Each structure stands twice: as C-alpha cells, then as structure tokens.
Amino acid sequence: MTTQANTPIITEDVFLTSPKDTRIANLAARVGQEVTLHGWVNTARSSGKISFIELRDGSGYVQCVGEHHLLSPETMTEIQRCSQESSITVDGVVQEHPKQKGVYEINLRRVQVLHQALDYPLGKKDHGPDFLLENRHLWLRSRTQWAIQRIRNTIIHATYEFFSAYGFIKIDAPIITSTACEGTTTLFSMDYHDLGKAYLSQSGQLYIEAAVMSHGRVFDFGPVFRAEKSKTKKHLSEFWMMDAEMAFCTHQQNMRFQEELISYIIGRVLALNQAELATMKRNTATLEKVKPPFVRLTHAQVVQMLQKEGATIKANDDLGAPDEAILAKLFDVPVFIERWPAEIKAFYMKRASDDPSVVLAADLMAPEGFGEILGGSQREDDYETLKKRMESENVPISEFQWYLDLRKYGSVPHAGFGFGLERLVNWISGAEHIRETIPFPRLLYRFKP
Ligand code: 4AD
Ligand code: MG
C-alpha cells in the first residue's frame, strides 16, 4: 500500500444517492441540468399560473419557480402542502437568475413533501427575545441565525489555520479545575467525588502555560464558564475561549501576533461569508479597514482621553460600559490598551521593568462599541516575584505550586492571550446581542433549552 497525503480527497459525496442529487451551494456547476435538492420550505406562495418556493438545504437558499403548465397534478397537490418548514424534495432545472448574475433558480419539475410542518411557531412576524430564546431549537433555522453560525464556523476554522501555519500545537485544557484562573468571584463550583469542591474552568491559560514549556507554541479552544451576575449584551455564563501561549515571546511580539491573527480571521470571513454578511446587513467597510498595525494606547493615555470627553474614570479604574462607548466614538479601528495598573489586573502578569506599577498586558477593544474581544499579557517568569505577588493577593500557594514549578525548571520569557469566540462573532457578524452568537446561550436567567 502506498502512503497517501493526509488530506482527504473527496471523489464522491457519500451523502448523495443519485447523480442528480446536489446541494444549493453547488448549483453554479449544474446550470442547464436537472437536479434534485432536499431541504425545507422557507416561504411558499402561488398565484394563478405560477408558484414560488424558497428552499433552504443548509448550504444556502434558492428560489424554486413552478410553472403550473409544466407540473403534474400530483406535484400541484404537493405544492399546496408546502407550509413553512415542511421538509421536501424537489426536482428541477438550474437556471441563472435573469437579472442577477451568480444567483441561481430552480425551474420545478416535481415536488414531494416528506413531512408537512403544521403551525410552525416562528412565523414571519416579529417575536420578542424571550419567545425566540424559548424556541431557540427552532430559531436556529432562521436566516440570520444560520448566517451567524456560518460566520462563527469560519472564525473557528481560520483560527486553527492560523495557529497551524505558525506551528502551534492544540492542547486541550481541563474543564474541571481545582483553582481559579481569573479571580474567585466568578467561579461555578461543584462537588467532586469525595475530594471537596471543584470549579469549572474560566480559562485554560494556566494549564497551557505548562504545555508551552513542552511544545513552545500552544493554544486551546474550548468552553469556559463565568458565574458573574452580569446581564449585559456582552456576557455569557458559558462561552468558548481560545487561549494561546508562546515561549520566548515578549509583550510587543504578543501584540504583533494578535493583530495578525485578528486581521487574518476577518480576511477569511470577508472572503467566504459575503452572503452571510449581507443577510446580517453588516456594513463591511469597517471590517475591510482592519489591518495591522492596530492603534496602541497605554491605559494612562486612554484615561486622559476619556476624562477629556467628560468621563468620570480615574487613574486606576477598569473601563466601564460608558467608557467603552466613548472610545468607540473616538476610534473606528481596533485599539490595544496596554500597560494596565497592576492592581486591577491578574496575578500572573509581568510588571514593566521601567514602571513596576503597570503590567505588560494589553486588551484589544473592537470598534463600533463591541468592546473588549481579547486580553493578553507577558507572564511573570521569576519564581520569587510571582510567589510574592500571589501571597500579597491571597492566592493559595499550595494549590498553585505546580504553576510556580514552571518558573523553577528552565523558566523563559513567555506571553499569551485569549479571545472570547462569541465576542468576536458578535463584532464581525454585527449580531444584535451575544446570545445570538452561540447555538444554545447560557445567560444569567436562562439555561434552557
Ligand atoms: O479577559 P479574560 O478574563 O482573560 C482571560 O481569561 C485570560 N486568562 C486569557 C489569556 O490570557 N489566555 O477573558 C478573555 C476574553 C475577553 O477578552 C472576552 O473577549 C471574553 O474572553 N470574555 C467573555 N465573553 C463572553 N462572556 C463573558 N462573560 C466573558 N468574559 C470574558
Ligand atoms: Mg479581560
């Protein structure tokens, strides 16, 4: 047996049962041919001599036109049964739209209803957010929700592509943990067998700091949990975080890498998801402007700017929602805020050698009011300095001895960052609320369905 390249070569789609079978996304290759499509009715209407069915099959949407004089009595009966969300199979000839280039239509020959959906609860009228969330299992089928998940999928893939190109190894951090990564006030806890309290991970960072000493460049990408009692458009109780960690990496290199990653992700969405962005009515001009280098401001500079605009923020304050709103008015591009006051940032961040009151951390603020999408820092790599900082912040040393150990055996300068996938999806897709960016959102007042 010869060794094959390890990329799959798809010669035949295993899901297709006849040579006529195809998917909406592939219609361009079938113009003039009769094809079979399987999907669901988005809308259907008939008038006199002609019927229109808008079909969706997961890969896209297509208008099916039924000229009644071409159709059998059986198909005419089936068209009557095409209520919203009924599952159907159609046969028809692929035509390019008479006026829109690159848009295809199906001239129907046959329609068969597989399962008729009666009284689908999500009609065409506007529903309130509670009703939609209650019906999230069905809401996912709507065109905007479909578009958002496809953009999310591109972002996930682009992230893997980018890290892979830079030689990163994916490391799966644990979800059940014995300690806090981002402060004890936002931890979900649980009873762990007979061993006492365990916590759901807030970020895999500390664990991938161990793995980076094995692989040099690593990332994780998985669910994390925050118990903060926030009911904003930006907070989820469960979300997907990507953490990256690089050995022999400084604060400056960390930011350089981040702006390349974010620009790459946006470039991929612009290349692959124009139809989805149009569905979202997303103004892509601001996305097209996202190119390295990003604006870099120190926290002190930002505080000054905000104060000038009338904000009440003080020197050692974190940014609040009103501050983020002002910043969004001042910049229409992503902005790094770096060199944060050490006292409001995590214990693991390295202090600047020229000013120990600030840490070598940067948060990336998205434009258009979407706020912080990413946070990172160079890590404290000196055993004694880190230990002192942990003691002064009452971090339980015994629980973190393994983490301190990393500074005991071949410590190196290292840095890393994490982004919240849903924050990124929210910004790039232009979705109204973070709850629309994850298939089944867990919010302060909801964890069903
Ligand atoms: O800023 P955070 O808390 O940073 C960390 O967890 C670091 N350990 C990351 C690292 O250096 N490896 O969270 C990182 C990102 C934020 O910038 C934000 O995008 C997102 O996670 N995030 C949330 N997204 C949705 N809902 C929440 N409740 C979030 N909290 C943080
Ligand atoms: Mg942060």
Specify the ligand 1 atom closest to the Cα of 243.
Answer: 12
Q: Which residue has the CA at smallest separation from atom 17 of ligand 1?
A: 374
Determine the pLDDT at residue 393: 92
pLDDT digits (tens, 9 = 90+) for 404-437: 999 999 999 999 999 999 999 999 999 999 999 9
- The CA 373 to ligand 1 mean position distance, Å, reads 8
Ligand 1 pocket test, candidate residues 423, 425, 435, 444, most atoms within 8 A of CB: 423
Say which residue the tokens 């079978």 belong to: 21
Determine the pLDDT at residue 11: 60
Quote the tokens at residue 157: 């893939």
Determine the pLDDT at residue 1: 41
| Residue ranges of domains in the chain | 13-115, 138-436
Q: Which is the CATH superfamily of the domain at 13-115?
A: Nucleic acid-binding proteins (2.40.50.140)
5 pLDDT exceeds 80? no
Euclidean distance between CA atoms 374 and 363, whole angstroms = 6
Determine the pLDDT at residue 177: 96
Q: Which residue has the CA at smallest separation from atom 28 of ligand 1?
A: 235
- As a whole number, the mean pLDDT across the chain is 95
Q: Which residue has the CA at smallest separation from atom 11 of ligand 1?
A: 417
pLDDT digits (tens, 9 = 90+) for 65-97: 999 999 999 999 999 999 999 999 999 999 999
What's the alpha-carbon Rg for the chain, to the nearest Å? 26
- The CA 417 to ligand 2 mean position distance, Å, reads 10
pLDDT digits (tens, 9 = 90+) for 213-237: 999 999 999 999 999 999 999 999 9
- Average pLDDT of the residues in 34-59: 97
Q: Mark 120-151 as b/e (b = at least 16 C-beta within 10 Å).
A: eeeeeeeeeeeebbbbbebbebbebbbbbbbb
Q: What is the DSSP string of 99-122?
A: SSTT-EEEEEEEEEEEE---S-SS
9 pLDDT exceeds 70? no
Residue 239: enclosing H or E segment and its boundaries? Answer: strand 238-247
Alpha carbon separation from 262 to 16, 139, 216 (Å, rounded): 37, 29, 21
Q: Would residue 197 be called left, alpha or beta, if left means φ above 0 and alpha means ψ between -120 and 50 degrees?
A: beta
* Fold of the domain built from segment(s) 138-436: BirA Bifunctional Protein; domain 2 (3.30.930)
Euclidean distance between CA atoms 435 and 236, whole angstroms = 7
Residue 361 and residue 377 in contact, taking contact as beta carbons nearer than 8 Å: yes
Euclidean distance between CA atoms 272 and 278, whole angstroms = 12
- Average pLDDT of the residues in 432-443: 97
Q: How confident is the model at residue 439 (pLDDT cuts 50, 70, 90)?
A: very high
Determine the pLDDT at residue 182: 86
pLDDT digits (tens, 9 = 90+) for 157-179: 999 999 999 999 999 999 999 98
